[in-house]
Structure 1
Amino acid sequence: MSQGPQKLYAGAKIREVRQRLKLTQREFSERLGVSLPYANQMENNHRPVSAAVVLRLASEFGLDVTELSAGESERLVSDMREAVADPVFSDPPPVADLRLAASNAPALARAFLELHRAYRQVHERLAGLDEALGREGQILVSPWEEVRDFFHYCDNYIDAVDRAAERFATAGEPLPPFERAVRALAARGYEVQLAEIDDLRRLEDHRILISARAAPATRAFQLLTQVALLTHHELIEATLDLARFQSETARAIAKLGLANYFAGAALLPYRLFLERARETRHDLERLADLFGASIEQVAHRLSTLQRPGAKGIPFYFVRVDQAGTITKRHSAARLQFARFGGACPLWNVHQAFETPGRFLRQLAETPDGVRYLCIAREVSKPGGAFHAPIQRYAIGLGCEVSHARGLVYADDMEIGNPRAYAPIGISCRICERRECHQRSVPPLERRLSLAPARRGILPYEIA
Structure 2
Amino acid sequence: MRAPIGFRISNRRKSLRISQAALARQIGISPSYLNLIENNKRDIAGSLLQRVAQCLDIEIGDLTGEAEQKLLQDLEEAYADPAVESLPFQPDERRQLVAQYPASAMALARMHRAYMGAVADADAYADRLRSDPLLGQLLHQVLSGITAIRSSAEILEDVQDLDDAERSRFLGAIGRETRTLSEVARSLIGQFESSSQAASSVSALREIDDMIIEQQNHFPQLEDAAVRLRVELDAQGTFGVETLVSALESGFGVRTIIGGPPDSPDFPGQYRYRPDARIMWFQGSTTLATRQFQLARLFGELSAADVLRQTLELARLSTDRARRLAARALGSYLAGAIVFPYSRFLGEAEACGYDIDRLRQRFNGSFEQIAHRLVSLRRPGEEGIPFGFLRSDPAGRLTKHFPLPGLLLPNTGHACPLWAIYCAFRQPEAMLRQVVQFSDGSRYMFLARSLQQRPASFREPNNVVSVMLACDVLHADRTVYGQGLNLLDQAADVPVGPTCRLCTRRDCAARQEEVLSPGGPVSATRVPLVPHEFGLGDSA
Name the TM-score class by shorter chain.
0.7 to 0.9
User: What is the letter of the counterpart of residue 401 of structure 2?
Assistant: R
* CA distance, structure 1, for counterparts of residue 101 and residue 221 of structure 2: 27
Deviation at 1:93, TM superposition (A): 4.1
The answer to whether structure 1 residue 208 and structure 2 residue 279 are counterparts is yes
The answer to whether structure 1 residue 404 and structure 2 residue 473 are counterparts is no
| Structure 2: gaps (5+ residues) | 19-37, 41-47, 129-188, 263-268, 533-540
Please show how residues 18-29 of structure 1 align to structure 2 within 5 Å.
none
1:109-167 per-residue CA deviation (whole Å, 9 max, x = no partner) reads: 445434323322322332342589869x9997433443244224433222211232233
Deviation at 1:355, TM superposition (A): 0.8
- Do the aligned partners of 1:72 and 1:153 also contact (CA within 8 Å) in 2? yes
SS in 1 for 2:433: strand
- Do the aligned partners of 1:319 and 1:327 also contact (CA within 8 Å) in 2? yes
- Give aligned pairs, total: 423
User: What is the letter of the counterpart of residue 125 of structure 1?
Assistant: D
Deviation at 1:260, TM superposition (A): 1.1
Deviation at 1:413, TM superposition (A): 2.1
User: What is the letter of the counterpart of residue 76 of structure 1?
Assistant: L
Please show how residues 57-456 of structure 1 align to structure 2 within 5 Å.
65-66=60-61, 68-89=63-84, 90-91=86-87, 93-94=89-90, 96-104=92-100, 106=102, 108-128=104-124, 129=126, 130=128, 141-142=200-201, 143-170=204-231, 172-173=234-235, 175-196=238-259, 197-198=261-262, 199=269, 200-205=271-276, 207-211=278-282, 212-332=284-404, 334-444=406-516, 445-449=518-522
SS in 1 for 2:514: coil
SS in 1 for 2:314: helix
Deviation at 1:274, TM superposition (A): 0.7
Structure 1 residues 253 and 106, CA, compared in 2 at 3 Å: closer, same or farther? farther
1:166-193 per-residue CA deviation (whole Å, 9 max, x = no partner) reads: 3322455463243443344344332332
Deviation at 1:38, TM superposition (A): 4.7
Q: Which has the higher helix share?
A: 2
* CA distance, structure 2, for counterparts of residue 447 and residue 411 of structure 1: 39
| Structure 1: gaps (5+ residues) | 15-33, 40-45
User: What is the letter of the counterpart of residue 73 of structure 2?
Assistant: S
* CA distance, structure 1, for counterparts of residue 415 and residue 15 of structure 2: 46
RMSD of aligned residue pairs (Cα, Å): 3.7
- Do the aligned partners of 1:383 and 1:390 also contact (CA within 8 Å) in 2? yes
User: What is the letter of the counterpart of residue 205 of structure 1?
Assistant: D
* CA distance, structure 1, for counterparts of residue 484 and residue 49 of structure 2: 36
- Do the aligned partners of 1:322 and 1:392 also contact (CA within 8 Å) in 2? yes
Structure 1 residues 333 and 409, CA, compared in 2 at 3 Å: closer, same or farther? farther
Structure 1 residues 228 and 112, CA, compared in 2 at 3 Å: closer, same or farther? farther
Structure 1 residues 450 and 296, CA, compared in 2 at 3 Å: closer, same or farther? closer
Deviation at 1:357, TM superposition (A): 1.1
- Do the aligned partners of 1:274 and 1:305 also contact (CA within 8 Å) in 2? yes
* CA distance, structure 1, for counterparts of residue 52 and residue 363 of structure 2: 41
- Do the aligned partners of 2:340 and 2:363 also contact (CA within 8 Å) in 1? yes
Deviation at 1:37, TM superposition (A): 5.5
Identity of paired residues, percent? Answer: 31
SS in 2 for 1:346: coil
Compute the TM-score of the two structures, normalised by the length of structure 1: 0.80
* CA distance, structure 1, for counterparts of residue 197 and residue 456 of structure 2: 44
Larger radius of gyration between Structure 1 and Structure 2: 2
Compute the TM-score of the two structures, normalised by the length of structure 2: 0.69
* CA distance, structure 1, for counterparts of residue 101 and residue 230 of structure 2: 40
1:245-267 per-residue CA deviation (whole Å, 9 max, x = no partner) reads: 11222212211211111112212
* CA distance, structure 1, for counterparts of residue 389 and residue 372 of structure 2: 6
